[in-house]
Amino acid sequence: MADGPKTKRVRRTKAEQREETQEQILDAAEYLFAQHGLHGVTLRDVAQRVGVHTTLLHYYFDDKRSLFDAVFARRAAVTSGRRMEALERYEAEAGERPTVEGALHAFLDTDLDLYFEGGELWMNYAAFCARVSNTPEGAELMDVHFDPVVLKLVAILRRALPDMAEADLFWGYHFVTGALMNTLARTGRIDRLSGGVCHSDDFPAVKARIARFMAAGFLSLAQEGR
């Protein structure tokens, strides 16, 4: 009896193998940096999580800091790009009458959807950004990768609230990003405080509330400044 047709095994090129290995290293480092920060992780830790020798990491990255920077940059372009597109789309739709809540929805909803719908790896990146955002090395990378989209948001808010003091605009953004980073950290604290009514990984619940809540804060500051 003749054997059936055999499935031909597709061999990956060396370039594809290298790309896959590099992605595995970045995924492992992303998870570890999210848990322990830059200074709480060694290249040996990353190598052990991937299951390779430390020397292989040096083939791809000069040192731990270059690995850290690569982890940050890999997804930063995606999240900042999506938010910029959302803000530009909202700006075009709103015309001369943008609202604070509309601008915040464009900025926040897009990001929360990306992390939640992206699965475990994107949620790891969210936690990574939350942990490192308040460190010198993280803040430096935030400046590089996220300043343009933040300043775009502020520009739209300025048009929505033309009489608002410049300092209040930036303090308002400061409070928004603080709430966002606390959400991305997923510490579980709100789960315990609320007795299970709220869950720190329930990004859709956050999305349903955060823009409206923060918009009220901006409007309150603007009213007091008149």
d(CA 125, CA 31): 8
Structural domain contains residue 216: yes
Instruction: Give me the number of domains the chain comprises.
Output: 1
pLDDT tens string 116-161: 999 999 999 999 999 999 889 989 999 999 999 999 999 999 999 9
Calculate the alpha carbon distances from 154 to 102, 162, 183, 216 in Å.
13, 11, 21, 16
**pTM for the whole structure:** 0.86
Structural domain contains residue 91: yes
CA-based nearest residue to 162, from 207, 93, 99: 99
CA-based nearest residue to 135, from 41, 24, 23: 41
Q: Give pLDDT, residue 134.
A: 87
Residue 168 belongs to domain with CATH number:
1.10.357.10
Structural domain contains residue 7: no
Structural domain contains residue 18: no
d(CA 46, CA 30): 9
Quick check: 135 and 36 in contact, CB under 8 A?
A: no
pLDDT tens string 70-124: 999 999 999 999 999 999 999 999 999 999 999 999 999 999 999 999 999 999 9
Residue 166 corresponds to which tokens in the numbers above? 């410049």
pLDDT tens string 51-73: 999 999 999 999 999 999 999 99
Structural domain contains residue 185: yes
Structural domain contains residue 19: no
d(CA 32, CA 17): 23
d(CA 45, CA 41): 6
d(CA 108, CA 173): 12
| Burial class of residue 138 (count of CB atoms within 10 Å of its CB; 0-12, 13-18, 19+) | buried
Structural domain contains residue 139: yes
Structural domain contains residue 27: no
Domain range for 173: 75-224
